[in-house]
Chain A
Amino acid sequence: MDNNLKDTAYNWVKGEMPAEIGEQYYCGTRDVFQARLDTMVNFLLGDPQIAENDVYVLSAVAGEIGNNSFDHNLGSWPDMPGIFFGYEAESGKVIIVLADRGQGVLKTLKRVRMELKNDEEALLTAFTEKLSGRAPESRGNGLKFVKEGVKAMNARLVFMSGKASARLNEGIEISRSDEIKGCLAVIKN
């Protein structure tokens, strides 16, 4: 298992114009994403080296991240709507990659917390505080669930948005990174 999946997604969110991605990775609507998420569950359940409960947690984590992209960019995609969703499994090891060319976490959260200064602050807030970019709707619990899910199964998640990157395992580390459009998430068990 190599980094082709991650590189393909990264190139898609890196440039001013979206790079070509295969149709098998592109989910233009939430319905397509949901169908492929269900397919992933069945695919991973077919690997006897992956614990059944881990499959469900991985699916829930990927589902929250992918659905967030649609929840927070509906009607306001800057250029290309929809998300990148790909996964691979080999010898019990799974990699799941999700990405979007949406508004990004900072712009989304700044609508409700104007004092956020940069992408790093926005990512830390998104994973640790109850705050939703869709206020006044009471939301904002999805990425906290993602953080707990990653920790519970000792998985690793890299979540990039704008010029920041969050690495999650037992805890969370935030650092600066090269700028991307929207968000990119890489989940590994």
Chain B
Amino acid sequence: MVSRPSGREAYLAMSAYITRDIKENEEIIIDFEGVKVLTPSWADEVITKLAQNHTVKFEHAENPTVKATLKTLSEYSGLKL
């Protein structure tokens, strides 16, 4: 989960199959269990966009790249944690 193109593809796939029936402002829980490497480029294309219309909460965010990515997005992309 590293590049913007793969993040964009993930977001589009989610939009078609996972998040389309979730109502605006409904809470979304993102579970990072098993994630080894996450970067702001990938996450900015997915998490920042999901957070624009939903309350996003995180589980199993202990991986250091997950923690650092969420911190970066909160500081530079306006993601509210």
| A and B are partners in one complex rather than unrelated chains | yes
Would you call the interface of chain A mostly helix, strand, loop, or mixed?
helix
CA A140 to CA B65, docked complex, whole Å: 18
Would you call the interface of chain B mostly helix, strand, loop, or mixed?
helix
In the complex, which residue of chain A has the Cβ closest to the Cβ of B6? A34
Number of interface residues of B (CB under 8 A): 23
CA A87 to CA B12, docked complex, whole Å: 33
CB distance from A89 to the nearest CB of B (A): 17
Mark interface residues in B1-28 (1 if CB within 8 Å of A CB, else 0). Answer: 0111110000000000000000000000
Does B37 reach chain A (CB closer than 8 Å)?
yes
CA A140 to CA B2, docked complex, whole Å: 15
Query: Which residues of chain A are near B76, meaning CB under 8 Å?
Result: 130, 140-141, 144
Give the residues from 52 to 71 in chain B that come closer than 8 angstroms, CB to CB, to chain A.
63-65, 68-69, 71
CA A183 to CA B44, docked complex, whole Å: 24
Does A63 reach chain B (CB closer than 8 Å)?
yes
Does B73 reach chain A (CB closer than 8 Å)?
yes
Determine if B37 and A141 form an interchain contact, defined as CB atoms under 8 angstroms apart. no
Does A53 reach chain B (CB closer than 8 Å)?
yes
